[in-house]
A and B are shown apart, each in its own frame.
Chain A
Amino acid sequence: MRVLVVEDERRLAAAVKRGLEASGFAVDLAHDGVTGLHMAREGSYDGVVLDIMLPGMSGYKVCSCLRAESNWVPILFLTAKDGEYDQADGLDLGADDYLTKPFSYVVLAARLRALLRRGAAPRPTVLRAGDLSLDPASRTVRRGSDPVVLTAREFSLLEYLIRHTGSVVSKSELLTHVWNEVDEIADLNVVEVYVGYLRKKIDTPFGRQAVRTVRGAGYMLAADGG
């Protein structure tokens, strides 16, 4: 497994490289953001350990550039910045894990292994189906460039559908994943009702048909946005 470590503290980087190599990884080092981004683009790494405070280009920028280019390499942020918004922003940019300094080396190695297990499937932060886009972090939905206002329930419904784009989702599955059965009287009809609301907001005003009914099976969100 090949790993890229982007860290400007040379002694720390060297120690991490030594340790990871002893654990069986092949490790490349970069000491600034620009070189790190370049190497991440050119090489095919199984994982990237990325510091945030880098000379040249910040780790945040490197991560968002990679994700924008649909580069889904697992990224672990390693940084002294531990503010809650620093962590939240880092993860919402598309990183997969966040470890603050000073850290336990053993934990770093374990988290890296966990990252690699997860693999590099496309995991965009903003979910898309055609021109329909849904951003779970900011809770916004757009059709093209037009914002669509949804209630919390409608949003959750659309999120589930869009995560299972292309496959059929049954009403009971929707009920389980979107509704909180403990609180409310659950009835499959309520799913129908809410799908109706959703269609009225994302399909009807635009003359599209993203949410399709599959008779006897459930619903499906068209991958091209209808």
Chain B
Amino acid sequence: MLRVLTAWWRRRGLRSRVTLTAAAGLLIAFTAADLLLFSALRSSLTKSVDDSARQAANQVVALINSQPLPDPVPVAASTVAVQVLSPTGRIIDISAGADRLVPLLSLPQAMTSARSSTAVTLSGGPYGLQPQQLRVVAATAANGSIVIAAVPYTTAHASLAVVSRALWLGTPLLFLLFTGAIWLAVGSTLRPITLLRRGAAAVSVTGVPRALPVPGARDEVRALALTLNGMLSRLALARQRQRDLVSDTAHELRSPIASIRTQLEVALDHPELQEWSETARDVHADVLRLARLAEDLLVLARLDERADADGAARGADSVADLAEVSACVVRRYAGARVPVVLEAPAPCPVRGDAAALDRVLVNLIDNALRYAKSQVMVSAQRADGASGGVAVGAGGLDGGGLDGANADGWAELAVTDDGPGIPAADLERAFGRFTRLDPARSRDSEADGGAGLGLAIVRATAQAFGGTARLEAAAPEGSPPGLRAVVRFRLAGSDASE
């Protein structure tokens, strides 16, 4: 039974629950109030009737004490009936209208009443009085006589009856009124939420930012609406960025494909114009360009996917020695245009995998080589606390790990060139996908720009392993200012949590 009830309760909506709870409270309150009112009224009325009976009795007692009692006993009001009994219980005197034969109270009853000054309710019928409720008290006189006074209870009785009827009628009405009002009030409170829900249902599949209706009242519902609107805007922005990326990608892919297609079509139409080997070499260069672009895009897509993965998945990272990978890569640049120098004094195990680190190094060194005047310097070592970055939380080499980002848990990879550098305004923009800062460089030559994904990959890789990437001027006052790319990786085995 209880289970059924609980289940039914759970299914009730917010409005029903609030209203039912309030109604139950109201019911209890009204009932208690009514009962209290009624009994307070009754005791008050009874008391005043008793008081008048006692007063009448005491008046007669005073009369007896002071002088012989006249016959009939004088009473203040004609509704009062008085009987005077002898100490033995025999009626010796009465007031007009009282019964001469039968005492209203028996002797023991009278004695009790006189002693404790309490009243008794009797029906007047059997005593020859009006058939109505009476309140009877007794008092003893100095000479042992007992005075019994009876006062009718009718008026009080009638008043109580009226009040009782009023309460029986009025309380249910009030109860229904209040319950109805609560039902409506809760309903109107919930209305903004219904509007929000309708607004949310109307947001299209493509998440076109249709602002949800924000209610005027400054309460939680308004805060919810504002927050949801903020969320919708962010989602719309992210979706727009995605669309832009896809569009840019398609565009970038078209160029090498068009080049390949035209070269082949022309060669097929006019085979006498060029040696096939030359055509093949040119097409090959474009195919490599296309392949590199496709590869870069795939890498970015995978890094994006990885960046969305939760901390647990990221925890199972592989470890690679940054110093060793750097040495490996730098060796491959032995015959480059300018010398590529490595500074990696000690092994530097970081969170990341060797292939990803290799790619980061290759991208940075390729960029540096394009612009360097006399040399490119690569350094891979542990970061000291003074080299900037986030350094909060418990110090110490073993790190508390509570808020991570302990400066001691980082390794820094820096690739520096002494070329013309990048204006301060573009230092951040350079990391954008398909952003090529120098529009004078054409896209197709290997020696020149490329599609603009190199730095985007560097940053995405760093972030996928919990690190950061930034650009800065190598020698801000110097001329040329040069450029330094700094990538920070977390040291493997550091307790830095996400």
Report which A residues bind B (CB closer than 8 A): 8-12, 14-16, 18-19, 21-22, 31-32, 55-56, 80-81, 83, 100-106, 108
Contact = CB atoms under 8 A, between A and B. Distances in A.
Interface-central residue, A9, A56, A81, by most chain B CB under 10 Å: A9
Interface-central residue, B259, B443, B445, by most chain A CB under 10 Å: B259
Given A8-B443, A10-B445, A11-B444, A102 B254 contact: yes
5 contacts: A9-B258, A12-B259, A16-B262, A102-B258, A108-B262
Contact of A19 (B269, B441, B443): B269
A101 B251 CA distance: 9
B403 interface: no
B259 to A, nearest CB: 4
Nearest to B439: A55
B408 interface: no
Given A11-B282, A19-B270, A105-B262, A80 B443 contact: no
B116 to A, nearest CB: 106
A22 B444 contact: no
Contact of A9 (B255, B265, B270, B273): B255
Closest 4 CB pairs of A and B: A101-B258, A102-B258, A19-B266, A80-B254
Contacts of B443: 8-9
A56 B269 contact: no
B265 to A, nearest CB: 4
Interface-central residue, B262, B439, B444, B445, by most chain A CB under 10 Å: B262
B123 interface: no
Contacts, number: 87
Given A55-B439, A102-B262, 8 more contacts: A8-B442, A8-B444, A11-B259, A11-B285, A18-B274, A55-B442, A80-B258, A103-B258
B356 interface: no
A196 B268 CA distance: 62
Interface string B259-299: 10111011101100110000000100110000000000000
Given A19-B266, A19-B270, A104-B265, A32 B440 contact: yes
B269 A22 contact: yes
Contacts of B267: 15
Chain B, interface size category, equals 20 to 34
A9 B270 CA distance: 21
B257 interface: yes
A27 to B, nearest CB: 12
B491 to A, nearest CB: 43
A55 B257 CA distance: 20
A106 B258 contact: no
Contact of A15 (B252, B254, B266, B445): B266
A12 B279 CA distance: 11
Nearest to B279: A15
A12 B262 contact: yes
B266 A80 contact: no
B442 A15 contact: no
B259 A15 contact: yes
Contacts of B257: 101-102
Given A12-B263, A15-B266, A19-B269, A101 B445 contact: no
Contact of B262 (A15, A21, A22, A31): A15
Contacts of A83: 247
Given A12-B258, A15-B263, A80-B254, A106 B444 contact: no
B252 to A, nearest CB: 8
Contacts of A108: 262
A10 B258 contact: no
Contact of A81 (B251, B262, B265, B269): B251
Contacts of A16: 262, 266
Nearest to A102: B258
A101 B254 contact: yes
A29 to B, nearest CB: 13
Contacts of B269: 19, 22, 105-106
Contacts of B444: 8-12
Contacts of A11: 259, 263, 282, 285-286, 444
A71 B265 CA distance: 32
A18 B273 contact: yes
A208 to B, nearest CB: 47
A189 to B, nearest CB: 50
Contacts of A12: 255, 258-259, 262-263, 444
Nearest to B442: A8
Contacts of A15: 259, 262-263, 266-267, 282
